[in-house]
Every structure is written in C-alpha cells, then in structure tokens.
Amino acid sequence: MAGIAPDPERTTAPTAAADDDRLHRTLDWKGGFWIASGVPALVLFSIGTIAATIGAPSVLVWGVSISFGLIQSFIWAEIAGLFPRKSGGASVYGAMAWVRYSKLVAPLSVWCNWLAWSPVLMIGSSLAAGYVLTALFPADAVINTWSLTLLPLDFLQEDLALRINSTFVVAALFLLLVFGLQHGGILRAARVQTIIGIAVLVPLLIVGIVPLITGDVLAENFSPFVPLNGAWDLSGWTLLAGGLFIAAWSAYAFETSICYTAEFRDPGRDTVRAILAAGLACLVIYLLVPIAFQGALGPERLAEPGIVDGDGVGQAMTEIVGGGPVVANLLIVMLVLALLLTIMTTMAGSSRTLYQGARDGWLPRFLGTTNRHGAPTRAMWTDLVFNLVLLLLSDTVFVLAASTVCYMIFNFLNLNAGWMHRIDNPTTPRPYRAPTVLVALGTILAFVNALLLGWGSSVWGGGALIFGLVGAALILPVFAFRHFYQDRGVFPDTMYEDLPASERGPGGALVRRAGMLPYLVLGGGIAMIVIGQILAGLSG
C-alpha cells in the first residue's frame, strides 16, 4: 500500500478553499429529510427491472434490501457525527478512517460514491423527458422517433451507443431547471423539495395502501414463490443476488440525508434524525409499493418492457388505483414531479461529495468553492456536464448496473469505517453512538455486499462489472493530480478538522491503532468478490 500515513508536514499545505467558500448552516433535520425525499421514488426506477430478473420473489428482494439499508444507516449516523464541519455524506467520513492506512483507498470511497449517485441525474431526467414526450406527442411522431447515432459501443454491450434524440434535449432542460433551483442554496432547495415531496410521497402511499384496502392484492400473484428459472437452486440464488445487487442502488440511497452535515444548524442532533426519518420513510414505501404493484398486476405484467424501461409505470399505477384519463394524467404529473425530486436530491448530495472531496484533498481544487448563497456551483456544473455525456448513452440499465458496482465498493469501505473509527478515534466526541450489535451487523453486511458485487453483477453482463471497476480506477490519476501535483504530497488542513489533537501522533500524523486489520479486511472483500464470480460461473 502506498502512502501509509499522512505527511507530518501537513501544516504547510494549502487549503482547498478559503473560509468564504464554506457551506452555510441554514438547515434543520426536517430540511435534510425533505432534501432526501426523492429517494423513496427510486423504487419506481427499477421495480420492473427486478421483477423481470427474478420474478415473484422480487418483493423479497425489496424487503431484504431496505432492511440492509436501515441497519447500515446507524453506522452512517455515528460516523457523520464525528465530523460536524464536513459535508458530502458517508463516503467522506469513511475516507477519514482509511486515510491512516492508505492514501489510495480513502479517495476510492469518495469517488465511488459520487460515480454511483451522479447517474441518477441522467436516469431520472431521461425518464421524466420520456413521460413528457409521450404525454404530448403520439408514439410514432417524428419527435419521438428520430435519433442520431454518434458512436457505437457494441464492444461494451450489444446495441449500446452514444446518440442524440428528443429525450436528450428535454432531459437536459430538466437538469438546467434543477441547477437553477439549487443555485440559491440548500435552504431554498429544501423549501422547494418540501412542496414537491408532499406531492410525491402522498400518491406513493395511496398506490401502496389502496390495493390492500380494496382487496386487489391477490395471493396468486406471489405464487409459486420461486425465481424465473423455476427452482431455488444455484441459478435461482444467482438471480436473487442479481436482484439484491441492483436494488441496493435504490434501497440504501437514503444515506444521502447526511450529505449536509456541514449545513445543519445542530449537526449532532440533526444528522441522526434526518437519516433515521429518511430510512423509515423508505422502509414504508419500499415495502408497500412493490407489494401493491406485484399483488395487483402480477410479476408477468411487471416484467413488460414498458414498466422495465419506466415509460409504462404511470399507466400501471392507474390500473392499481383505478380511474380514467384524468387520474392517469394526474399520476403522470406526479411521476414527473417524483423524478424531478430525485434529480434535485441527487444534484444536492453528489455535488457536495465533489465539494468536500476537493476541500479534503481528494479531488481537484476548483471543485471546492461555493457561491454567495453557499451552493457548490462548480461541483454542480461538473455533475451537470458529466450527466449530459451519460444522457447520450442508449441504455440506462447498463449505466445503473455499472454505477451499482461503484456503490457496492463505497458501501464495503464505509461499513468497515464504522469499527475502524471506534478503534482509531476513541476520544472523538460522538453525538450519536450506534448500538455495538448494529456496528457488528453492518460489518457483516459489508462482506455480504462484496459477495453481491461479484455474484449479482454477473446477471447484468460482464461488461457492467468491468465498466464499473474501470470507472472506479479513474480516481487514481485524478487523485495523483491533486495530491502529488497540486498539493505536493501534503493534505490540506481542512481534511483534519474535527479530529482532536489526541488522535494525532508525533508530527501531526493520524494515530493508527487497528494494526493489520484494515488490510485483512480489504483482502477479505476481494476474496468475496472472487467467490461471487465463481458462484455466478457455476450457475451457468
């Protein structure tokens, strides 16, 4: 491992940005909750994809996945409380555990979290654009059918290409709208999202509850409760692993509610309340909505192309709750608002990951500035441009699978950061301390997620795993440019803030108390990925 400990000369390092570039403390926990309120709607992104992958047990996938996410959230809440002046989410707090042992592993956590989250902008805006175009124009209209191929990418996946069409244009306009709303700072964004969030969460609850009350959830739609291959054999378990792999991208995502620790008025109090409130909201939606969809429509209907690609979700919701064209149009409006909400949630969270990564020395300095409203505009522009490129891709499911690879890498590193911080930062104040049993369960889940990374990703094609790993590796030249060229091998002082002097050894280097355990953990994670690949290969 290169660069075992931070350089003792760190006190001479330049900061990533001036104090004027700090985020503004204007948010309470309720604002953090509403900023994250776009996460429950993510269930609509992949409800059809998972049903098409595994069949009737898709409701099991959602139940298990959201349960995993809720257990993990307690670890996120604890480590967030350690760093009240940092923004950017769990990956930033986790990186502070790994930096003691490797300069290269720590930025991998931050980078993978951003690469996992940022594509929501592309997926959400393209789906919203599809709803608008379908509602306004016939399916065979020229505006819905024209497409200009720029570059074929068949070597990555069949029929994958870079192209421009009407969806790209409308989706780009949605992204610019969200950028404008968030340019005025997090408090204004939270107020807007409170209104949109209510308009989205209430219909989602209605869709989840009405079929249960009316008796439209039919038991035969959950039977036989076996994967699509017809048995709970190795192939069937591989399909389940594939479902859990892709569901994690949505079900774990409410951790974005702690991306705003540096903007909370009372970080110690607001952080834990925001993430647990967001987690409970997701628990309700992620249990009710899949049961309602499958119970009322059946797994075969869920696996139809229109629901898998998202275009037919509005019509499916109309069938579930009943009603004519007026109800259908209202639900389409709700879906567009839901997608707009997820875009706002994602731009707010992922841009702050870039911002804090720049301030802490992981990413280029230019990302670590804010405007007069306290919004990280350069990071937001970076998010916007990156997703405009992704919008050119013809297959959003491929992007989803590749970004989930990055998300699982981040997840593995950060769940282990929980126990690492307890060993290495025993005297750092903890406004919230998670029950030790949940920290232990979270550590076990880290290895479960590593197994799903190797096993479940195979269901989506080998290209997704390779593309995701290549994307994760891109942090190496990015970090090398920042750390060794811009900062001359020395981390900025802002990286060390919030840590008491007792956690530093001679010369200011961070104390390491975990010995070889972090390296053994990394080896164990790689082993689980390899075992997952072997299981996938044996399943045929």
User: Is the pLDDT score of 13 beyond 90?
Assistant: no
- For 170-213, how does the pLDDT look when each residue is reduced to its tens digit (9 = 90+)? 999 999 888 887 776 666 777 777 888 888 888 888 888 988 88
User: Is the pLDDT score of 111 beyond 80?
Assistant: yes
Residues 6+ apart with CB under 8 A from 428: 82, 421, 498, 499, 500, 503
Q: What is the identity of the amino acid at 442?
A: G
pLDDT at res. 308: 82
CA quadruple 345, 350, 355, 357: dihedral, nearest 10: 150
pLDDT at res. 2: 38
Identify the three-state secondary structure at position 159.
coil
The total of other beta-carbon atoms located within 10 Å of residue 280's CB is 14
Q: Is the C-alpha dihedral spanning 272, 278, 280, 283 positive or negative?
A: negative
Identify the three-state secondary structure at position 152.
strand
Q: Environment class of residue 187 by beta-carbon count within 10 Å: exposed (0-12), middle (13-18) or buried (19+)?
A: middle
For range 153-176, the mean pLDDT: 81
- For 311-338, how does the pLDDT look when each residue is reduced to its tens digit (9 = 90+)? 778 778 888 877 777 777 787 888 888 8
* Higher-pLDDT residue of 345, 222: 222
Confidence of residue 504 (pLDDT cuts 50, 70, 90): low
Burial 482-499 (b: 16+ CB within 10 A, else e): bbeeebeebbbbbbbebb
Task: Please name each of the domains of the chain with its CATH number.
Answer: 29-496+514-538 (1.20.1740.10)
Q: Which two tokens stand for residue 336?
A: 């567009």
Q: Which two tokens stand for residue 127?
A: 């789906």
Confidence of residue 15 (pLDDT cuts 50, 70, 90): very low
Whole-number Å distance between alpha carbons of 259 and 253: 11
Q: Which two tokens stand for residue 109?
A: 């956590």
Confidence of residue 418 (pLDDT cuts 50, 70, 90): very high
The residue written with tokens 């505009």 in the block is 377
Whole-number Å distance between alpha carbons of 396 and 339: 15
- For 44-55, how does the pLDDT look when each residue is reduced to its tens digit (9 = 90+)? 878 888 998 899
How many residues in total does the chain contain? 540
Q: Which two tokens stand for residue 172?
A: 């780009």
pLDDT at res. 507: 59
Whole-number Å distance between alpha carbons of 366 and 357: 11
For range 4-13, the mean pLDDT: 35
For range 478-482, the mean pLDDT: 93
Least confident of 18-27, 216-225, 368-377: 18-27
Q: Which two tokens stand for residue 495?
A: 């990286």
Residues 6+ apart with CB under 8 A from 20: none
Given a contact cutoff of 8 angstroms between Cβ atoms, the answer to whether 510 and 5 are in contact is yes
Whole-number Å distance between alpha carbons of 254 and 280: 10
Q: Which two tokens stand for residue 25?
A: 């403390």
Whole-number Å distance between alpha carbons of 479 and 258: 24
For range 493-518, the mean pLDDT: 78
- For 23-46, how does the pLDDT look when each residue is reduced to its tens digit (9 = 90+)? 677 778 888 788 777 788 888 878
* Higher-pLDDT residue of 157, 233: 233
DSSP secondary structure string for all residues of 304-334: SHHHHSSTTHHHHHHHHH---HHHHHHHHHH
Least confident of 21-30, 271-280, 401-410: 21-30
Q: What is the identity of the amino acid at 241?
A: A
pLDDT at res. 496: 82
Given a contact cutoff of 8 angstroms between Cβ atoms, the answer to whether 55 and 459 are in contact is no
- Spatial CA neighbour of 313 closest among 285, 289, 280, 343: 289
User: Is the pLDDT score of 448 beyond 90?
Assistant: yes
Whole-number Å distance between alpha carbons of 446 and 451: 9
Given a contact cutoff of 8 angstroms between Cβ atoms, the answer to whether 391 and 171 are in contact is yes
